[in-house]
Amino acid sequence: MPAALRAAIVVNELSWSGPCHDRDESGLLEILTRALVTARARVSTHHSALVDVALPEDLWRRRLPRGSTLGAVLVQMRSAAQRDLAHRLKQFIDTGHRYPASDPVAVDMPNGLTVSHRGQAAAGFRYVLESQGVALSLDVDEWRKHPVDVDVCRGDEPAARVQTIAHVWSDVISDSQLAPVGAIIPLLPAYENPGHHDPEQPNQYIPSKSQLPRRPRRLLESALPEPGGTWWAFCEHRFYHRFQGRGAGPGPTVHWNGTTNPRARQVTREEDVPIALRKALSARPVDQCGCREI
Ligand SMILES: [Zn+2]
C-alpha cells in the first residue's frame, strides 16, 4: 500500500447550521459521534494510522442549528450515555486533524481547482476529494442524502466539473457509503456468534470444536485479512485466531472458527496464516483475548 494513500472521515462544516426540525442539538451531536465511532470501528487497529478524522478548525465557535455553541451543548449532555458520547466527541476533536473552514472564498486545491456546494466554499468536501474520503454531516434536514455532488471549478469557469462524494449523516452506515475508505483499507466485517464454538451456549455448542475466546470482538478489531475473506488475529498467548464468513465464500459477516492454540480440540496450523500477516500481527499481540483452553 503506497504511503501517500490515506483515507479520511471528514465532518462537513456546511451542515453545522441546519436547519433541523426533528432533532435537538444534543441529539445531533450524539448521532454525529456515534457515526464517527461506527466509521472508525470499521478499520482494523493495524490500519488506524492510515485514516484521518478531520473536523473544521473553528468548531468551537460554530453555532448549531438553534444557535448554541458546541461547548454549551456538551455541558447539557448529562446522562451517563450522553457523557460517554461527549467524551468521545472531545477525543475526536482533540486528536483529529483540523481543516480551515472559515475562508469566505472558494478553497483552492493544489492544482488550481476550487470546491464548492451551491455556491458556498466547501473546505470539508475539498478534504474529502483530496483523500480517499467520506463526508460526515449533522443529521439535519438538507443533508440527508447519499451521495452529494460538489462543483469543482478552474478559476472563474463555473462548474467545470461536478464530482460525487460519499456522504454519511446517520450512525447506521452502509458499506457503499464507506466505499472510498474501503478502496484502500479493507473494512472490518461485522461479527456474529453462531454458537458452535461457544461453551456458554450449550444448545449450539459442539464439544468436538475448539472453544471461542471470551473476547472475540476484541481480537477481530485488530485482525488483518487474507485474500478471499478470511481474517486473522494474534493474541497475547501467541496464538493466531481465524475468522471466516458465513458459508464457504467471503462474507461481510464473520465468526471465530479456529486457533493455533496447541491445546485446542481442533488445532489450526500456523502455516495456514500467510507469512506476511504473521509478521504484521505478531508485532502487536492483542491482550485480554480471553482464550479458554490454556
Ligand atoms: Zn489468547
Residue 164, beta-bridge partner list: 149
Rounded average pLDDT over 50-78: 93
Question: In a 10 Å sphere around its CB, with 0-12 CB exposed, 13-18 middle and 19+ buried, how is residue 139 labelled?
Answer: buried
pLDDT the model gives residue 147: 92
Burial class (CB in 10 A: 0-12, 13-18, 19+), 136: buried
Question: How remote is the CA of residue 243 from the centroid of ligand 1, in Å?
Answer: 14
Specify the higher pLDDT residue, 28 or 252: 28
Would you place residue 109 in the very low, low, confident or very high pLDDT band (cuts 50, 70, 90)?
low
Mean pLDDT within 259-283: 96
CA of 194 to the centre of ligand 1 (A): 20
| Minimum mean pLDDT range among 157-171, 180-194, 258-272 | 157-171
pLDDT at residue number 252: 79
Report which of 153, 84, 116 is spatially closest to residue 13, judged by C-alpha positions. Answer: 116
Q: What is the mean pLDDT of residues 90-106?
A: 82
Q: Using alpha carbons only, what angle is made at residue 150 by residues 186 and 65, rounded to the nearest 5 degrees?
A: 95
Q: How much is the average pLDDT of 18-23?
A: 87
| Centre of ligand 1 from the C-alpha of residue 77, in Å | 38
Q: What is the mean pLDDT of residues 105-114?
A: 64
Output the CA 235–ligand 1 centroid distance in Å: 4
- Residue 59 Rama label (left phi>0; alpha psi -120 to 50; beta): alpha
Q: What pLDDT band is residue 2 in, cutting at 50, 70 and 90? A: very low
Rounded average pLDDT over 204-225? 96
Q: How far is the CA of 289 from the centre of ligand 1 (A)?
A: 5
CA 217 to ligand 1 center in whole angstroms: 13
Q: Given a cut of 50, is residue 1 above it in pLDDT?
A: no
**Mean pLDDT, the chain, whole residue set:** 90
Residues sharing a CB contact under 8 Å with residue 36, sequence separation 6 or more, in sequence order? 9, 11, 53, 88, 89, 92, 136
* Under 8 Å between Cβ of 264 and 279: no
Confidence of residue 52 (pLDDT cuts 50, 70, 90): very high
Kindly give the distance from the C-alpha atom of residue 221 to the centroid of ligand 1, in angstroms, as a whole number. Answer: 14
- Residue 256 Cα to ligand 1 middle (Å): 13
Out of 74-83, 120-129, 259-268, 284-293, pick the least confident.
120-129
290 alpha carbon – ligand 1 mean position (Å): 6
Quick check: 292 and 214 in contact, CB under 8 A? Answer: yes
The CA 291 to ligand 1 mean position distance, Å, reads 4
- Residues 1-33 as b/e (b if ≥16 CB within 10 A, e otherwise) read eeeeebbbbbbbbbbbebebeebebbbbbbbbb
pLDDT for residue 131 is more than 60: yes
- CA 282 to ligand 1 center in whole angstroms: 12
Residues forming a β-bridge with 245: 254
If you average pLDDT over residues 68-82, what whole number do you get?
95
Q: What is the mean pLDDT of residues 178-205?
A: 92
Residue 165 CA to ligand 1 center (angstroms) comes to 41
The bridge status of strand 190-191 relative to strand 253-259 is parallel
Distance CA 238, CA 180 (A): 34
Distance 51 CA to ligand 1 centre (A): 27
> Tell me, what amino acid is at 224?
L
pLDDT at 105 over 60: no
At residue 153, the pLDDT reads: 86
Going from the Cα of 220 to the center of ligand 1, the distance in angstroms, rounded, reads 12
Averaged pLDDT, 216-226:
97
Specify the higher pLDDT residue, 228 or 82: 82
pLDDT at position 4 is: 57
pLDDT for 36 beyond 60? yes
Q: Please give the distance, rounded to the nearest whole angstrom, from the Cα atom of residue 197 to the centre of ligand 1.
A: 15
228-245 pLDDT tens trace: 889 999 999 999 999 998
Least confident of 24-33, 136-145, 155-164: 155-164
pLDDT of residue 275: 97
Distance 204 CA to ligand 1 centre (A): 23
Domain boundaries, the chain: 7-182, 190-282
